[in-house]
Structure 1
Amino acid sequence: MVWPHGFDDLRGAARRRLPRFMFDYVDGGSFAETALARNVAAVRAVTLRQRVLNDVSASDLSTTLFGETLAMPLMLAPVGMGGMLRKRGEIQAIRGAHANGVPMVLSTVTLCSVDEIAAATQIPFWFQLYVAKDRGFVMDLLARIKALGCRTLFMTVDLPVPGPRWRDQRSGLSGPPGLTGQWRRWREIVTHPRWALDVGLLGRPHTLGNLVPIMNGRLKLADFLRWSGQNFDPAVTWRDLEFIRNHWDGKLVLKGVTDPDDARRVADIGADGLVVSNHGGRQLDGSIGTAEALPAVAQAVGERLTVLADGGVRNGLDILRMLALGARGVMIGRAWAFALAAGGEEGVSRMLAQMALELRAGLALTGCARAQDAGPHLLGQLPSWWGR
């Protein structure tokens, strides 16, 4: 077959392979998906200065984030239930990331447990934490990932309650239990036999490995969706960060910050970094695009902490756009999820290699040899929202 090259190619290949309820789960956002669309539009609105006759022969994409050297300023963002895209999908994804010298941030809600991933790969990982109401479970989980060698924790702060996702309700993945939703899922499963064999049959067990100790025997994915609405803690405040710090002595990054005042508070509490993110457009549908929010956040914190960004990044040139707006590193979610669904470990590896090629070309054409030197001087005509 002709291997998919760009994001749209990967998305199309994933759509053909996945049952609708899994494709829509990855592809969709909350409510009417306005924030999802704004993320993409905001990134594409960023223009870059084309510069010529600069020596860019010593091209270097590498960077250092949180004490670790990366082959390029990119990492795989946490994607819940990634193991439902390919057989033991998180294991395949982290291997693809490692082959290209970039880290993967494992979600709290991976299909494979952190113990299984660590045993199968021997690859260092970063970890994303959802704070559950059961603080004992949180303490135990932090101890587990620390014992497995994790040194960088991403605490998601933009999900006090799950944002309603209409596409998931229509596809039968979420919504009230009953025969209608089950019929929709089974109809899709039987019409996607490759996925049904690879994931449905050979990819068992279909449990959320990290949550097994807390879900009281309820192990179906539908049970997780109900459990998350009941157990993600809406009472979490800035004071709870003291609890996290008391049980975590590694690097701490807060994910889900778009407001400059919140960014200053993140810096004030002594975190090591933040991610400018609106959860990929899956939470507050009225939020601005992350590229719109990034410059003000970066300016608000200066050099006090490391600023990362996600949302709307579809290729290597988009990575450069985010770096020019002030990010030190970029996270991708849907891109790697679609690559995994389309081609497994090889698909993730090829997608990352393609993004590295595109980033290198973008740097050269803006007269910049090193990714670490990218910044606002690469911007062309400033977007209308710049400086707000």
Structure 2
Amino acid sequence: MNSSAGVYMKHGVFELVRRVLPSGLTIGVSYFDRTSEEHPVALQTALQDAVKVVAAKHDFATDDSVDLSIRNLFSGDAQAMILEAAWDIDHPVIIGVWIFFRAACIVRGESGLESVRAVYSEDIAIISAGVKKLIHTTPVNKSFPKDMKFGEFFMMELVEFMSSKSSSVFGYTPKFIRGEICLTNKKMKDLCDHFGSVVGIAADSAVLKIVDAENFIRKNDVHVVEMHTMELHGQLDSNNFVMRWVGDGDEVVLVSFSKCISTNYGKTIVQMQACTEAMPSKSLILEEVFLSLLSAGLNEIRGRCWGATDRAMVSKRSQDIEESSGKGNLPDMYLHVLKDAEALMALERLGFKRHCFGSSAMKPLVTDLSFMRNKKIKLATLAESRRCTKITV
């Protein structure tokens, strides 16, 4: 049995981008199908396992959050990919799940700051129960590959999907993956290092949380800002936009706004990114510019009703659910600053707080998919096991 990566083949209930390892184990990525009877059930099982792991580490209640996350997947706000493996391709086993969102990413191009299409990675997890099932069902004439690094293979197949299938599935081919990471998560940190992710571990980077967002909305702004919208399938992308300010000289400040979902709580959140160019050191005008950009962005969020969806506040050590709806609500908001000391200092002077998950500070990261595509070619020659069996590509 042989197969090349990137070929869609339907087996059982899953449509796989699959690759067959020399051991006979098939691995592949399946896109979440909202019309399928089986996919929602499978995804719910995977999400429950992943969220329970997070809850155990950080002492968060998780009741109802999985159901709310599934609901958001059906609404189209969230996207999902499932990593599967099988000895018998008619009976694949889920061993991982990736939840992500359509997003914007601000990068420094040759002509200055620009916003490009990206995806925001909310969760990626390997499901140990699925791996154990594969081990226990290994055929007599085969052996489960030792030292299998499923995270690497998952990322390899995701890159394959992003390169060849993503445009037809969710509207565009992303150039970057954005996200955040807790540095105590060594496995994820190693995976990011392996794929060349830029992680904001220095003093010029942080994930900030906006406290009392209503206070940033102003009636009169002294700085004129412009909004850049994005298209999706030929129409307005209702979940992404960018606010831009241009100074008298080369000064430019951009803030992107992306509607996402917290899978730990099942509620709407906004993931933002801020970046500056040619701003004078310790410029007090930067604070005023950020206030104008945020005020305009928050008013746009209200107009787009991002806060009008059901929200669940699952409190620590509590299973009480606080429901609220209405056009005026503003979701929780997080702002990423990566390698931009001036922006970070200005935002902290405005009262933005460092975002922690439990007791661990979160750090921003950006992964260039073009680098990952090159890395994928090299990874295809890695040893599958201690016996140095080569992976077939």
After TM superposition, the score normalised by the length of structure 2 is: 0.26
- Between Structure 1 and Structure 2, the one with more helix by share is 1
Structure with the greater alpha carbon radius of gyration: 2
After TM superposition, the score normalised by the length of structure 1 is: 0.26
